[in-house]
């Protein structure tokens, strides 16, 4: 089984090829880049595959895998490798989903007839146990 390496400025992620290919095939954000990457991963003879920087869409796949408790990550700041249960979830902007606004009335309050919706965004990410950002993505916008 191959190992897939994905590097960012702050971290080095390591996943099994089975987890990556399964996540790509089940992804709702299927792009031409991800289809090419999937082909590359399934035809590569190497046991260690590094994701090229041109595949920027892979960050969403990495985030999905991390949320599912897959893979390991090395924080470049701490220079330590962490297991899935050691990473901490962080929230960006207005949260992980536009449908779980905490204020009473939630999204309904935004849906006033004739009123323009405010521009909002949100997402999620992960930090190492010492609080260093490993990955963070904006996953929705209004």
pLDDT digits 0-9 by tens, 4-52: 999 999 999 999 999 998 988 887 666 787 888 888 888 888 889 999 8
Q: Residues 123, 134, 60, CA angle at the centre, nearest 5°?
A: 45
Which of the 8 DSSP states describes residue 118?
P
Q: Which residues pair with 127 in a beta bridge?
A: 88, 133
pTM of the full structure = 0.75
Q: What is the pLDDT of residue 60?
A: 86
Range of the domain at 20: 3-141
Domain count, the chain: 1
How many C-beta atoms lie closer than 10 Å to residue 80's C-beta? 14
Q: What is the pLDDT of residue 105?
A: 47
pLDDT digits 0-9 by tens, 61-102: 898 899 899 999 999 999 999 988 898 887 776 555 655 555
Helix, coil or strand: residue 90: strand
Q: How far is CA 63 from CA 43, 109, 124, in A?
A: 24, 30, 8
């Amino acid at each position: 089984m191959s190992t897939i390496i994905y590097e960012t400025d702050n971290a080095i992620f390591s996943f099994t090829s089975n987890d990556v290919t399964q996540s790509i095939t089940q992804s709702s954000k299927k792009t031409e880049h991800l289809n090419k990457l999937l082909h590359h991963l399934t035809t590569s003879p190497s046991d260690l595959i590094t994701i090229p920087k041109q595949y920027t869409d892979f960050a969403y796949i990495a985030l999905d895998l991390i949320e599912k408790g897959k893979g390991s990550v090395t924080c470049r700041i701490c220079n330590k490798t962490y297991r899935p249960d050691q990473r901490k979830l962080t929230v960006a902007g207005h949260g992980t989903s536009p449908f779980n606004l905490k204020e009473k009335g939630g999204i309904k309050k935004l849906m006033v007839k004739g009123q323009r919706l405010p521009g909002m965004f949100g997402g999620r990410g992960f930090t190492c146990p010492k609080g260093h950002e490993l990955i963070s993505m904006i996953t929705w916008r209004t």
